[in-house]
Chain A
Amino acid sequence: MSALATTVRPRRRSFVGLGFVAPFLAVFAFVLVIPVGYSLYLSLFQDKLIGGRSFVGLDNFTRLFADPKFWDGLGRVSLFLAVQVPVMLGLALVAALAIDSGRLRGASFFRISVFLPYAVPGVVAVLMWGFMYGDQFGLAANINSLIGSHVLQPLTPKWILLAIGNIVTWEFVGYNMLIFYSALRSVPGELYEAAAIDGAGSWRVVFSIKLPALRQAIVIATIFSIIGSFQLFNEPNILRTLIPSVISTYFTPNMYAFNLSFAGQQYTYAATLAIVMGVFTAVIAYVVQLRGSREANR
Chain B
Amino acid sequence: MSTPVRHRARAVAALAVGALVSVSLAACSSSSSSSGSSSDASAGAASLDAALAAGGEITYWTWTPSAKDQVAAFEKAYPKVKVNLVDTGGAGDNNTKLQNAIKAGSGAPDVVQIEYQSLPQFVLPGNLLDLTPYGIGDLQSKYSASTWGAVAQNKGIWALPQDSGPMVMFYNKTVFDKYGLTVPTTWDEYIAQAKKLHAADPTKFFANDPGDAGYTTSMIWQAGGHPFVADGQNVKINLQDSGSTKWADMWNQLNEAGLLGAIPGWSDQWFQGLGDGTIATLVTGGWMPGVLEASVPSGSGQWRVAPMPTYDANNLVTAENGGSSEAVVKQSANPALAAAFLRWLNSDPESIKIFLASGGFPSTTADLESSDFLNKESAYFGGQKINQVIVDSSKHVASGWQYLPWQSYANSIFSDTVGKSFLNHTDINEGLKAWQEQNVSYGQEQGFTVSTN
A residues sitting closer than 8 Å to B (CB atoms) are 46, 48-51, 123-124, 127, 130-131, 134, 136-137, 157, 238, 241-246, 248-250, 259, 262-267
Report B-chain residues with C-beta under 8 Å of the C-beta of A244. 210-211, 264, 415, 419
Is B406 engaged at the interface, CB distance under 8 Å to the other chain?
A: yes
Is B348 engaged at the interface, CB distance under 8 Å to the other chain?
A: no
- Tell me whether A245 and B412 are in contact (CB under 8 A): no
CB A224 to nearest CB in B, in angstroms, measures 24
- Tell me whether B447 and A245 are in contact (CB under 8 A): no
- Tell me whether A241 and B3 are in contact (CB under 8 A): yes
CB-CB nearest 5 A-B residue pairs? A50-B447, A245-B419, A48-B447, A263-B412, A244-B415
CB A119 to nearest CB in B, in angstroms, measures 16
Is B125 engaged at the interface, CB distance under 8 Å to the other chain?
A: yes
Partner of A249, one of B413, B420, B445: B413
Closest-by-CB residue of B relative to A121 is B5
> Which of A50, A136, A250 is the most central at the interface, judged by chain B CB atoms within 10 Å of its CB?
A50
- Tell me whether A50 and B1 are in contact (CB under 8 A): no
- Which residues in chain B, 254-275, are within 8 Å of chain A measured between CB atoms? 262, 264, 267, 269
- Tell me whether A249 and B416 are in contact (CB under 8 A): yes
- Tell me whether B4 and A238 are in contact (CB under 8 A): yes
- Tell me whether B447 and A51 are in contact (CB under 8 A): yes
- Tell me whether B4 and A127 are in contact (CB under 8 A): yes
Closest-by-CB residue of A relative to B422 is A245
Q: A127-B4, A238-B4 are in contact. Are A49 and B125 (CB under 8 A)?
A: yes
CB B49 to nearest CB in A, in angstroms, measures 36
- A245-B420, A249-B416, A264-B409 known; 17 new pairs, CB 8 Å cut-off, are A48-B446, A48-B447, A49-B124, A50-B447, A123-B5, A127-B4, A131-B1, A238-B4, A241-B264, A244-B419, A245-B419, A246-B423, A248-B416, A259-B413, A263-B408, A263-B413, A264-B442
Encode B1-18 as 1/0 by CB contact (under 8 A) with A: 111110010000000000
A130 to B264, alpha carbons, bound, how many Å? 14
Closest-by-CB residue of A relative to B278 is A136
A127 to B7, alpha carbons, bound, how many Å? 13
- Tell me whether A245 and B1 are in contact (CB under 8 A): no
- Which residues in chain B, 404-430, are within 8 Å of chain A measured between CB atoms? 405-406, 408-409, 412-413, 415-416, 419-420, 422-423
A131 to B446, alpha carbons, bound, how many Å? 39
Report A-chain residues with C-beta under 8 Å of the C-beta of B267. 241-242
Prevailing SS type, chain A contact patch: loop
CB B99 to nearest CB in A, in angstroms, measures 6
Encode B377-416 as 1/0 by CB contact (under 8 A) with A: 0000000000000000000000000000110110011011
A238 to B8, alpha carbons, bound, how many Å? 12
Closest-by-CB residue of B relative to A127 is B1
Report B-chain residues with C-beta under 8 Å of the C-beta of A248. 415-416
Is B106 engaged at the interface, CB distance under 8 Å to the other chain?
A: no
A-B pairs with beta carbons under 8 Å apart, 9 shown:
A48-B447, A49-B447, A130-B1, A131-B1, A134-B269, A241-B3, A242-B264, A244-B419, A248-B415
A242 to B210, alpha carbons, bound, how many Å? 10
Is B103 engaged at the interface, CB distance under 8 Å to the other chain?
A: yes
Q: A136-B269, A241-B264, A263-B409 are in contact. Are A49 and B2 (CB under 8 A)?
A: no
A136 to B208, alpha carbons, bound, how many Å? 14
- Tell me whether B211 and A262 are in contact (CB under 8 A): no
A101 to B123, alpha carbons, bound, how many Å? 66
Closest-by-CB residue of A relative to B2 is A127
Report B-chain residues with C-beta under 8 Å of the C-beta of A238. 4
Report B-chain residues with C-beta under 8 Å of the C-beta of A46. 445
A127 to B124, alpha carbons, bound, how many Å? 37
Report A-chain residues with C-beta under 8 Å of the C-beta of B405. 49
Report B-chain residues with C-beta under 8 Å of the C-beta of A127. 1-2, 4-5
CB B384 to nearest CB in A, in angstroms, measures 31
CB B94 to nearest CB in A, in angstroms, measures 12
- Tell me whether A262 and B96 are in contact (CB under 8 A): yes
Prevailing SS type, chain B contact patch: helix
How many of chain B's residues have a CB under 8 angstroms from any CB in A? 36
Is B37 engaged at the interface, CB distance under 8 Å to the other chain?
A: no
A248 to B211, alpha carbons, bound, how many Å? 13
CB A112 to nearest CB in B, in angstroms, measures 25
A142 to B411, alpha carbons, bound, how many Å? 34
A267 to B103, alpha carbons, bound, how many Å? 10
Report B-chain residues with C-beta under 8 Å of the C-beta of A51. 447
A134 to B2, alpha carbons, bound, how many Å? 15
Is B311 engaged at the interface, CB distance under 8 Å to the other chain?
A: no
Report A-chain residues with C-beta under 8 Å of the C-beta of B215. none
Report B-chain residues with C-beta under 8 Å of the C-beta of A243. 264
> Which of A49, A259, A265 is the most central at the interface, judged by chain B CB atoms within 10 Å of its CB?
A49
Q: A244-B264, A248-B415, A249-B413 are in contact. Are A124 and B448 (CB under 8 A)?
A: no
Closest-by-CB residue of B relative to A263 is B412
- Tell me whether A262 and B416 are in contact (CB under 8 A): no
Report B-chain residues with C-beta under 8 Å of the C-beta of A134. 269
Q: A130-B1, A238-B4 are in contact. Are A245 and B409 (CB under 8 A)?
A: no
- Tell me whether A263 and B2 are in contact (CB under 8 A): no
A136 to B103, alpha carbons, bound, how many Å? 41
CB B35 to nearest CB in A, in angstroms, measures 30
A130 to B5, alpha carbons, bound, how many Å? 13
> Which of A131, A245, A259 is the most central at the interface, judged by chain B CB atoms within 10 Å of its CB?
A245
- Which residues in chain B, 439-453, are within 8 Å of chain A measured between CB atoms? 442, 445-448
Is B375 engaged at the interface, CB distance under 8 Å to the other chain?
A: no
Is B100 engaged at the interface, CB distance under 8 Å to the other chain?
A: yes
- Tell me whether B445 and A48 are in contact (CB under 8 A): yes
Q: A127-B5, A241-B1, A242-B267 are in contact. Are A249 and B210 (CB under 8 A)?
A: no
Report A-chain residues with C-beta under 8 Å of the C-beta of B446. 48-50
- Tell me whether B5 and A242 are in contact (CB under 8 A): no
- Tell me whether B423 and A245 are in contact (CB under 8 A): yes
Partner of A265, one of B3, B233, B409: B409
CB B230 to nearest CB in A, in angstroms, measures 11
- Tell me whether A245 and B3 are in contact (CB under 8 A): no
Report B-chain residues with C-beta under 8 Å of the C-beta of A245. 210-211, 262, 415, 419-420, 422-423
Report B-chain residues with C-beta under 8 Å of the C-beta of A250. 416
Report A-chain residues with C-beta under 8 Å of the C-beta of B448. 49-50
Report B-chain residues with C-beta under 8 Å of the C-beta of A242. 1, 264, 267
A124 to B423, alpha carbons, bound, how many Å? 26
A130 to B268, alpha carbons, bound, how many Å? 12
Report A-chain residues with C-beta under 8 Å of the C-beta of B413. 249, 259, 263
Report A-chain residues with C-beta under 8 Å of the C-beta of B422. 245
CB A125 to nearest CB in B, in angstroms, measures 11
Report B-chain residues with C-beta under 8 Å of the C-beta of A241. 1, 3-4, 264, 267
A127 to B2, alpha carbons, bound, how many Å? 7
- Tell me whether A262 and B447 are in contact (CB under 8 A): no
A250 to B417, alpha carbons, bound, how many Å? 12
Closest-by-CB residue of B relative to A48 is B447
